[in-house]
A and B are shown apart, each in its own frame.
Chain A
């Protein structure tokens, strides 16, 4: 059974810092890995999708990497802003399109 873990569970940083969120998974036989953002009371917003054959994806200040063999992904946020404050979730897709989420990292960026 796939298990997805996110570290840290919570993170508080001053504005402007570069930061890294970590996601690890136990079964490396994945189709893809996705990073989402969740704002309070809202549905998930897709940030980045990395196919199993890819090593990284970039969107603006966000960069996600994938090391399938070691079961790890990182989400790098450059020059963090207060508007980046949210919960960040990673999810992996296995055979049968099973989606497994990590527990999330709650990020607070202080002005």
Chain B
């Protein structure tokens, strides 16, 4: 079956630092990858959609200069949280879609900004 990995699974950082999260499709080519964020007791919310080789499309209210997304290959997308602050602490999940409509989700990355 299709497998999506995320790295790291946990990250703790100081306020003001930048954090990069990787999302990889291990056994299929992902033409589209999605990045989601989930705050405690809230629903999973879509942040942005990235297609390989093009700029990401951000949802309303998501700062594109703060959440940099790079989808440089068909198996890798990265989300960089620049100058992270405590309010950015959340659970970040990516999903990848290949040729079909099914999205395969990564295990998530928990970010804690101190």
Contact = CB atoms under 8 A, between A and B. Distances in A.
A19 interface: no
Contact of B44 (A34, A48, A51): A34
Given A41-B32, A97-B108, A34 B43 contact: yes
A43 to B, nearest CB: 4
Interface in A26-59: 31-32, 34, 36, 38, 40-46, 48-49, 51
Interface residues of A, number: 21
A91 interface: yes
How big is the B interface, by class?
20 to 34
Contact of B101 (A31, A38, A46): A38
Given A49-B42, A51-B41, A97-B110, A43 B34 contact: yes
Interface of B: 32, 34, 36, 38, 41-46, 49, 59, 91, 93, 95, 101, 103, 105, 107-108, 110
Contact of A43 (B36, B108, B110): B36
A105 interface: no
Interface of A: 31-32, 34, 36, 38, 40-46, 48-49, 51, 87, 91, 97-99, 101
10 contacts: A34-B44, A36-B44, A43-B49, A43-B95, A44-B44, A46-B43, A46-B46, A51-B41, A97-B38, A97-B91
A38 B38 CA distance: 17
B30 to A, nearest CB: 13
Which of B32, B95, B101, B110 has most A Cβ within 10 Å? B101
Contacts of B32: 41
B108 A99 contact: yes
A43 B60 CA distance: 13
